[in-house]
Amino acid sequence: MSPRVLVLNGPNLGRLGSREPEVYGSTSYAGLVERCTALGRELGLEVEVRETNDEGEMIRWLHEAADGELPVVLNPGAFTHYSYGMRDAAAQRTAPLIEVHISNPHTREEFRHTSVVAAVATGTVAGFGLASYDLALRAIAERAPGTHRPLRAFPE
């Protein structure tokens, strides 16, 4: 059985492809889901991708991950900058949790420069477009029990 990984996306990520394509690209949310699940299969992971605009639902998903010892790729969206409840749920992690961002928050508005999640995440990947998810999934696969793949951010 393949290790299970949750890819959790916060507010407005379901609008990929139509929301600010100059910042977030033209790939739709369905395209992101396919990209993550396809790479997961290649890496020997069972990837489940979810999106919510609801902070409480995100917190419940993080509790589910902690209780199930499931690795998480987390794009908190706007929750990144202010959701202490989500941060506290992420702090309860029992497996790797990689924070991802499509854009580089540090090159954008000042309010985006602070992440309340970063201090409790295993690591953060930002600024590589949808490839940020690829890098995070590769990092998870590198650390997943039963997988012994070298960490290669950009495979040959």
Any catalytic annotation for residue 24? yes
> Residue 7: exposed, middle, or buried by beta-carbon count in 10 A (0-12, 13-18, 19+)?
buried
Helices (H) and strands (E) in the chain, counts: 5, 5
User: Rounded to whole angstroms, how far apart are CA atoms 39 and 132?
Assistant: 12
Q: Which amino acid is at 143?
A: R
Tokens encoding 38: 């396809």
**Catalytic residue, candidates 63, 82, 84, 101:** 101
Known binding residue 81? Answer is: yes
Residues of the chain by 3-state class (helix, strand, coil), percent to 5: 45, 15, 40
Known binding residue 112? Answer is: yes
Known binding residue 115? Answer is: no
Known binding residue 103? Answer is: yes
User: Rounded to whole angstroms, how far apart are CA atoms 61 and 50?
Assistant: 9
Known binding residue 88? Answer is: yes
Could you tell me whether strands 46-51 and 4-9 are parallel, antiparallel, or unpaired per DSSP bridges? Answer: parallel
- Supply the DSSP symbol for 3: P
Catalytic residues: 24, 101
Residues placed in the known binding site: 75, 81, 88, 102-103, 112
Residues placed in the known binding site for substrate: 75, 81, 88, 102-103, 112
